[in-house]
């Protein structure tokens, strides 16, 4: 390869990286706004989240098209190929995060006229604070090619899952105590599940960044503390530890 | 390109296609078995589904690696590139479908000792019959490069969503009538949601097949009849039409 071609290739890689960072920023904002619209009961904001998800979908297709063209045109060597494949995987996870934020926003619209149990809404907020921090960290890790930071995000996913499991129990208990809350709590349950899954996708991104930087997979077993698919709450409500 | 290279390339494309079909067959089986384990309350079968999901994940990585290598090595022209990108997208959707089936199976394990409201379990079964038919059709469409068949699957997704919406209402109503069912119904709600999402991923595959064969996107607006993120059920329970 001549130097000219090499630097054009470099520029293309950088451009792809910039697009991923841009997409990450947009996904972060959608997640933050979807939860804010829940807390503030702000339908206008929720509607905006629903609409804006399309721009993330669009960015993903753009990144995919571009990445594939770069691979076909440049026949990159192993290390650069890893970089481009990472781009594809991360944009995929970010697209899913956008979808999940959109779904939270739709549920905000569904329950806007109903009574919001503040304690439970706060529970969703706390979870999302942690998940947003994870997203921020992992996008920094991507931008700075920081495998250690990625590993840190990966390790912390278990705390998101723990919060979700405890919120799941609380929501179920709340429904049992007063069936009038079933409809609202069901939507909050799905909101919480969506946010937990946003955490999972951030963990996927962490794995991809680690692989991109080191060429190695994270070999530890993934910390998994969301036990709610195996969790039931007995009726009548026991302690939430039950 | 010499004829020798062309035919090696052809063989690689065919091999990729075979792997996607294999992955599709495995994903179908996991979905079928996860629902069967729910109906039969068969924990052994559910546990097997949870374990087998890993083989689908493995196939996806294999397809991704292979596809990227083929792109880098062969510098394919537009039409072949479309084919390989389709492979990447479809294996992505199939991997997600495997995850969703695994989640259904985990919930089967969670509620194994609880009372199963037969009517609602049947509701999940009916939904999954339709979704499995959609999966079968869309994998046939992929194997036969049949854009019309793919379009048929795409159009039928609305009926899955309609079934889900009605099941969602039923489950909520059931919970309100007897709070002892809240725990089981919550898991059934997530099962139903997972199956509805398997339907969505089949629709994604239909879009990809259509694009792969025709080079065009399906331009109609996607039929969307899952209204549950906007659905609430009032307490005390009204008619399920309410």
CA distance B186 to chain A (A): 8
As a whole number, mean pLDDT of residues B61-82 equals 88
What is the sign of the dihedral through the CA atoms of A37, A43, A44 and A49? Answer: positive
CA end-to-end span of chain A, whole Å?
65
CA distance B205 to chain A (A): 15
Three-state SS letters, B203-215: HHHHHHHHHHHHC
CA distance A182 to chain B (A): 7
Nearest Cβ partner for B110 among A71, A179, A229 = A229
Tell me what percent of the residues of chain A surpass a pLDDT of 90: 72
3-class DSSP state of B239: coil
Alpha-carbon distance of B108 to B37, in angstroms, equals: 7
Q: What is the CA radius of gyration of chain B?
A: 20
pLDDT of residue B237: 36
Nearest Cβ partner for A179 among B84, B190, B235 = B235
Determine whether the interchain pair B179/A184 forms a contact, defined as Cβ–Cβ distance below 8 Å.
Answer: no
pLDDT of residue A74: 85
Hey, which of A1-5, B22-26, B235-239 has the most confident mean pLDDT?
Answer: B22-26
Picking from A69-78, A161-170, B231-240, which range would have the lowest pLDDT averaged per residue?
B231-240
Determine whether the interchain pair A233/B183 forms a contact, defined as Cβ–Cβ distance below 8 Å.
Answer: yes
A138 pLDDT more than 80: yes
Q: What is the pLDDT of residues A22-75, one digit of tens each?
A: 999 999 999 999 999 999 999 999 999 999 999 999 999 999 999 998 998 888
The residue length of chain A stands at 242
pLDDT of residue A222: 61
Above 0.90 for ipTM, yes or no? no
Query: Residues near A119 by Cβ (< 8 Å), separated by ≥ 6?
Result: A170
Nearest Cβ partner for A103 among B110, B229, B232 = B229
Query: Residues near B242 by Cβ (< 8 Å), separated by ≥ 6?
Result: B233, B234
As a whole number, mean pLDDT of residues A141-146 equals 97
Alpha-carbon distance of A168 to A175, in angstroms, equals: 11
CA distances from A217 to A207, A221, B58 (A): 7, 11, 13
pLDDT of residue A233: 57
Hey, which of A111-125, A188-202, B209-223 has the most confident mean pLDDT?
Answer: A188-202
Do B210 and B153 touch, CB atoms closer than 8 A?
Answer: no
Picking from A51-60, A128-137, A227-236, B233-242, which range would have the lowest pLDDT averaged per residue?
B233-242
Nearest Cβ partner for A182 among B64, B72, B176 = B176
Picking from A174-178, B41-45, B192-196, which range would have the lowest pLDDT averaged per residue?
A174-178
As a whole number, mean pLDDT of residues B80-91 equals 92
CA distances from B63 to A27, A211, B27 (A): 27, 17, 15
Of A165, A185, A179, the residue nearest A119 (C-alpha): A185
Q: Please report how many Cα atoms fall inside a 13 Å half-sphere around the Cα of residue A17, on the Cβ side.
A: 18
Whether chain A has a CB inside 8 Å of the CB on B188: the answer is no
As a whole number, mean pLDDT of residues A217-229 equals 69
Q: What is the pLDDT of residues B123-168, one digit of tens each?
A: 999 999 999 999 999 999 999 999 999 999 999 999 999 999 999 9
Tell me what percent of the residues of chain A surpass a pLDDT of 70: 89
Nearest Cβ partner for B71 among A72, A175, A183 = A72
Residue B66 pLDDT class (50, 70, 90 cuts) = very high
Query: Residues near A236 by Cβ (< 8 Å), separated by ≥ 6?
Result: A176
pLDDT of residue A234: 54
Q: How many CB pairs under 8 A join A and B?
A: 93
Residue of A nearest to B83 (CA): A68
As a whole number, mean pLDDT of residues B104-108 equals 97
pLDDT of residue A225: 64
Of B143, B145, B152, B136, the residue nearest B198 (C-alpha): B136
A3 pLDDT more than 70: no
Alpha-carbon distance of B134 to B206, in angstroms, equals: 9
Which of B186, B224, B235, B236 best probes binding to A when mutated, by most A CB atoms within 10 angstroms? Answer: B186
Of B105, B91, B28, B104, the residue nearest B63 (C-alpha): B91
Task: Tally Cβ neighbours within 10 Å of residue A86.
Answer: 23
Buried b (16+ CB within 10 A) or exposed e, A197-228: bbbbbbbbbbbbbbbbbeeeebeeeeeeebeb
Hey, which of A63-77, A110-124, A212-226, B93-107 has the most confident mean pLDDT?
Answer: B93-107
pLDDT of residue A5: 65
Identify the residue with better confidence: A78 or B119: B119
Q: Which domains does chain B have, with CATH numbers?
A: 3-230 (1.20.58.220)
Buried b (16+ CB within 10 A) or exposed e, A165-186: bbbbbbbbbbbbeebebbbbbb
As a whole number, mean pLDDT of residues B56-75 equals 91
Q: Which of residues 89-148 of B touch A (CB under 8 A)?
A: 92, 103, 106-107, 109-111, 114
**The token pair that represents B108 in the structure block:** 């089967």
Query: Residues near A17 by Cβ (< 8 Å), separated by ≥ 6?
Result: A87, A143
Residue B79 pLDDT class (50, 70, 90 cuts) = confident
**The token pair that represents B73 in the structure block:** 């090595």
Determine whether the interchain pair A107/B229 forms a contact, defined as Cβ–Cβ distance below 8 Å.
Answer: yes
Task: Tally Cβ neighbours within 10 Å of residue A140.
Answer: 16
Query: Residues near A136 by Cβ (< 8 Å), separated by ≥ 6?
Result: A28
pLDDT of residue A223: 60
pLDDT of residue B222: 61
Query: Residues near B151 by Cβ (< 8 Å), separated by ≥ 6?
Result: B206, B210, B218
pLDDT of residue A73: 86
CA distance B17 to chain A (A): 18
CA distance B160 to chain A (A): 18
Of A120, A102, A110, A119, the residue nearest A198 (C-alpha): A102
Task: Tally Cβ neighbours within 10 Å of residue B144.
Answer: 13
pLDDT of residue A117: 86
């Amino acid at each position: 390869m001549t130097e000219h071609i090499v630097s054009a290739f470099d520029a293309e890689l950088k451009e792809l990286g910039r697009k991923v960072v841009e997409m990450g920023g947009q996904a972060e904002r959608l997640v933050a706004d979807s939860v804010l619209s829940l807390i503030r009961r702000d339908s206008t904001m929720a509607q905006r989240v629903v609409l804006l998800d399309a721009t993330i979908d669009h960015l993903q297709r753009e990144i995919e098209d571009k990445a594939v063209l770069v691979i076909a045109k440049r026949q990159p060597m192993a290390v650069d190929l890893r970089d481009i494949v990472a781009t594809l995987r991360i944009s995929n996870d970010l697209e899913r995060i956008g979808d999940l934020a959109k779904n939270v926003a739709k549920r905000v619209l569904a329950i806007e006229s109903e009574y919001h149990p503040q304690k439970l809404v706060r529970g969703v907020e706390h979870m999302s604070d942690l998940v947003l921090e994870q997203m921020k960290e992992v996008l920094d890790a991507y931008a700075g090619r920081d495998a250690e930071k990625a590993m840190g995000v990966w390790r912390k996913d278990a705390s998101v899952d723990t919060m979700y499991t405890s919120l799941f129990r609380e929501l179920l208990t709340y429904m049992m105590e007063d069936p009038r809350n079933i409809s609202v709590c069901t939507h909050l349950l799905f909101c919480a599940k969506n946010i937990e899954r946003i955490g999972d996708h951030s963990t996927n991104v962490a794995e991809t960044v680690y692989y991109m930087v080191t060429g190695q997979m994270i070999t530890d077993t993934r910390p998994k503390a969301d036990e709610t698919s195996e969790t039931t709450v007995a009726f009548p409500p026991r302690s939430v530890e039950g």
